[in-house]
Amino acid sequence: MDAEIPLYIYATEDGCRAAGPVFARMPAHQTPSGAAPACIGTAPWHCINITTMRHYLFIIMSAVVALCATGCDNTSPFPDEKTDIPEEKPAETPPDKPAAEVESENLIICNEGNWQSDNGQLSYYDGATGELTNQWFRKINGTKLGDTPNDILHVNDTLIAIAVNWSNIIQYIHPDGTACGATENVPNNRRMCCDKDYLYVTSYAHQCGSQAFTKGYVAKIDLRTKEVVATCETGWEPEGVRIYDGRLYIANTGGYSFSENHGYETTVQVVDAATMRTLRTIDTGCINLYGEVSQAGEYLCINSCGDYYDVPPRTVILNCRTEQFRVFDFPCTYNTTDGRLFYTVGSEFSYNTYEYVYHIYTIDPATMQATYGIYGDAVTQKLKELQSPYEVYVSPYTGNIYFTDAKSYATAGYLYGYSDTGEELFRPQKTYINPAHILAIPNYRRANE
């Protein structure tokens, strides 16, 4: 039986109302860069004094970046909800790589580290040997990855892009970990998507090379030269970006409203990827569209954080073909897809209670039905046992699900893996601080096997 979840349907015509601007701080574990601060103690709310202090430090540092850019409580936080899970089989794979060809897969885990600590790292899990290697990038390249890697994207068979937020670079590597170039003029970069020839990156900054912006922007990078070839101004603090039918869909947040003179954003901006011109904006009526954005065909899954006080978080499911959407009354802070369904773990934090409540749902965007749980009882229960869920990822090659626990946000996190039938794939693997992004690298059988 599906969970009883109210749905709010908003029209996308000009008459749609937006939520009024609300000013509030971000939750203790979300700093201006999106990564966790260095914490005192083991509970997330112990970080508040440090985080607030860093908010002011950020305002000063962001001005410097703009000028330089040219060159534990045991009480369960999970609500008591029924776990009637639909038996869905998510093992969809890219059309040019039949599932039968995939023999195994390796994993790259992008650990954010702590903001301004310059300790971001990559971990590598070898699916054949079952071994996990930390400091993988440093061991291969003899240098640090940088400060707060915020996103990782498999561009093509030979190229992977990593948005290293506070180091202000896009780092490129081959699947074997070897560094192969960088784009250095997109400061405070956030999230990425790509088509065949170009990489698109959102940025909270107000400058890209010699170009200045009042709000944020999205940059278009030529994958052959690694150079920015075009930009488009967005709303305040743009976060997730996805591409559909030649159009970019950019989730604006307004996340710096606590320190800058503006309110939260409620819009998804639609940009023509060829001309990099804004076509229109879609007002969702939901504030602070911060977090991961997953894409299943024409559908996007977008998180709305709320204001952490009185405006509750939401989940927005947007149909890019019709540009209509529905809103669910739970967050989807960490979300992923198998190409058909969305799997979400929502983190709801309140400054009124200083507590977290987590929500675990599977959403079918074709029917707009949400069901409590992911994959089945085994995966759902393990997710409920995590201290601080920090990422959930479904492999497009095997349908396996991987997720992480950031623990205290200041110590090593852990990686977990399960098959789509709920079988544990390996024992929990110790990673580094704040394991926030996962990428599967498939191993294919040879043609003569």
- In the chain, helix, strand, coil percent, each to 5? 10, 40, 45
pLDDT at 131: 97
CA distance 204 to 148: 14
Alpha carbons 269 and 276: distance in angstroms, whole number = 12
Q: Give the pLDDT mean for 310-328.
A: 98
Find the Cα–Cα–Cα–Cα dihedral 231, 233, 239, 241, rounded to 10°: -50
Query: Each residue of 58-115: pLDDT tens digit?
Result: 444 444 444 344 333 444 455 544 333 333 333 333 444 444 588 899 999 999 999 9
Nearest to 218 by CA among 258, 252, 246, 184: 252
* Residue corresponding to tokens 């790259």: 108
**pLDDT over 70 percentage in the chain:** 77
Give Cα 328 distance to the centre of its chain: 19
Helix (H) / strand (E) element for 270: namely: strand 267-272
DSSP sequence for 93-155:
--TTS-GGGEEEEEEEEEE---TTS--BEEEEEETTTTEEESSHHHHHHSS--BS-EEEEEEE
pLDDT for position 258? 86
The torsion angle over the Cα atoms of residues 425, 105, 407 and 163, rounded to 10 degrees, is -170
CB 24 within 8 A of CB 308: yes
Q: Over the stretch 169-218, which tens digit does the pLDDT of each residue have?
A: 999 999 999 999 999 999 999 999 999 999 999 999 999 999 999 999 99
pLDDT, tens digit (0-9, with 9 covering 90-100), for 324-371? 999 999 999 999 999 999 999 999 999 999 999 999 999 999 999 999
Q: What is the mean pLDDT of the chain?
A: 84
Both tokens assigned to 130: 């079952």
Nearest-Å Rg of the Cα atoms of the chain is 20
pLDDT digits (tens, 9 = 90+) for 10-60: 333 333 333 333 333 344 344 444 444 333 233 333 333 333 344 444 444
Nearest-angstrom CA–CA distance, 395 and 195: 20
Q: Name which of 373, 263, 368 is nearest 324 in CA terms.
A: 368
Give the predicted TM-score (pTM) of the model. 0.81
Q: Which of the residue ranges 96-100, 254-258, 262-266 would you say has the lowest mean pLDDT?
A: 96-100
